[in-house]
Amino acid sequence: MNGSPLWQELVAWGVVLAAAIYLGRRWWPALASLLGLKTTAVTTKAACGQAGGACKQCGSGGTTPPRDHRITIVRRRQ
């Protein structure tokens, strides 16, 4: 008997499939906006829920300002 048993292959394919679905759901809005594709209302609604409703695109009056996630590098003078 060569190779791994069938159940190990099925588990490995399940893990790969789950990871692909997770990454696709997480990165699709950013990738779609880079490619200039239109996103659905469901994707926009989910993004609003993640941003605390502060995107001001869906009409919900969020009270928190959007967070700046950029990295700022500060170097000390020598």
What is the CB-side half-sphere exposure of residue 50 using CA atoms within 13 A? 8
Q: Does the global pTM surpass 0.85?
A: no
Helices (H), the chain: 6-35, 41-50
- pLDDT at position 11, please? 94
- pLDDT at position 68, please? 76
Whole-angstrom Cα distance, residue 66 to residue 38? Answer: 22
- pLDDT at position 64, please? 63
- pLDDT at position 8, please? 93
User: Which tokens sit at 76?
Assistant: 């000390």
| pLDDT in 10s for each residue of the chain, 78 residues | 467 799 999 999 999 999 999 998 888 888 888 887 776 555 445 555 555 555 555 555 556 667 777 877 888 887
Task: Using the Cα atoms of residue 50, residue 52, residue 55 and residue 57 in order, give the sign of their dihedral.
Answer: positive
